Amino acid sequence: MQETWRWFGPLDDITLPEIRQTGATGIVTALHEIPYGEVWPLEAILARKAMIEQAGLRWSVVESLPVHEDVKRGTGDLQRIFANYRESLRNLGKAGIPTVCYNFMPVLDWTRTDLAYRMATGALALRFDAMRQAAFDVLMLERPGAEADHRPDVLAAARAWFAGATQADRDTLLTSIMAGLPGAYDRYDIPGLRRMLDSYAGIDAAALKAHLARFLREVVPTAEEAGIAMCMHPDDPPRPILGLPRIISNRQDLADLIAMVDSPANGITFCTGSLGAGVANNLPALAREFAPRVAFLHLRNVTKEPDGSFHEADHLAGDVDMPAVIAAFLAEEKRRGTEIPYRPDHGHVLLSDAGRKTHPGYTLIGRLRGLAELRGVIAGLRHHAPV
């Protein structure tokens, strides 16, 4: 399996020389400075690729080539947006970058309510707290009908928390929820978020899936011609958020995705954290079933709670049977005869991570620990059960 590392470009506080010392050989990055819906020029792609290669690394995966919100809503000048996306794919193919990760989550990517949840060891982790999410949705955002989306006991706890929360507590909660776009720099205040949510009025899961299918029909043939595997990231968390539908959350959703366009260029980013937060998702079984269509792996772990809360655990702790998942993909690699890129997804704030200006979840020492642990699992599985 190819070890990769997410890097947010020249403005990332973690440098390419530091990444090389982790042992990872591949870089996962994007041209974050280019607005959504615009073309990635070949010259800009080649310049970023040269920067990576000068550090002794290679650009293995694009994460992400973002999908414009108009595509998800099915509005606006879609033909121009589709044409630009196709041109970006052609340029990435010319540059020899084989894999493009993207997602189809409306408005926000991953959603967390706590960016510094203290673990028993003193490490800081990301957390989704169902009570705080309800407090934000019902009492801060004041979304019409939001009460129906939260359990009564969670709502009661949310009202109690909100009654005692300071303005600083509420501001911190808003900042935490807005942090779910780690590669983008647009953030919403409460009025701005309300306007974005209003723009999705009337769009349910079925409509969003129809918009996804149209997008795939428009761009996957170009990806196939360019020699690129597109791989969609699952919803995080795998449930509706703020009244927005989520459509890649479980086994049926994954099956629907690959059936939309029957092409090897239409694949999956298998994220053990996102799928692992779904109570009904059996990760080893999903890995075995969908391995032939998986082009990229995000490996992290979560510990779930009965009320729907979860936090990001150590990579080999939590509810996901990580060795069983990895074993499924080692078997798939043997079948293909090629490596599947993976990256240690998210990481706790450990040791000298404190104080560094890194994106939430994208620490140096925390991810280095995760990478080392995953590397050990892979080596152990290969030694005891060669594949």
Structure tokens at 168: 């600083």
How is residue 111 written in tokens?
């959603």
> How large is the C-alpha radius of gyration of the chain?
20
- The reply to whether 346 belongs to the active site is yes
Q: Is 311 a known active-site residue?
A: no
Order of strands, sheet of 124-128, starting from the edge strand that comes earlier in the sequence? 114-118, 124-128, 310-313, 301-304
The answer to whether residue 233 is catalytic is yes
Burial class of residue 383, CB neighbours in 10 A (0-12, 13-18, 19+): exposed
Active site residue 359: no
Which of 298, 311, 315, 348 does the annotation list as catalytic? 298
Catalytic residue of the set 68, 150, 315, 346: 346
Catalytic hit among 233, 311, 315, 348: 233
Tell me the C-alpha distance between 331 and 327, whole Å.
6
Q: Which is the catalytic residue, given 271, 314, 342, 348?
A: 271
CB 60 within 8 A of CB 99: yes
Q: Is residue 271 annotated as part of the catalytic site, yes or no?
A: yes
Identify the CA nearest to 254 among candidates 280, 228, 226: 280
Contact residues for 387 (Cβ-Cβ < 8 A; gap 6+): 327, 330, 331, 333, 334, 381
- Nearest to 278, CA basis, from 63, 128, 64, 115: 128
DSSP state letters, 190-209: HHHHHHHHHTTTT--HHHHH
* CB neighbour list of residue 337: distance below 8 Å, 6 or more residues apart: none
**Annotation says 345 is catalytic:** yes
Active site residues: 233, 271, 298, 345-346, 362
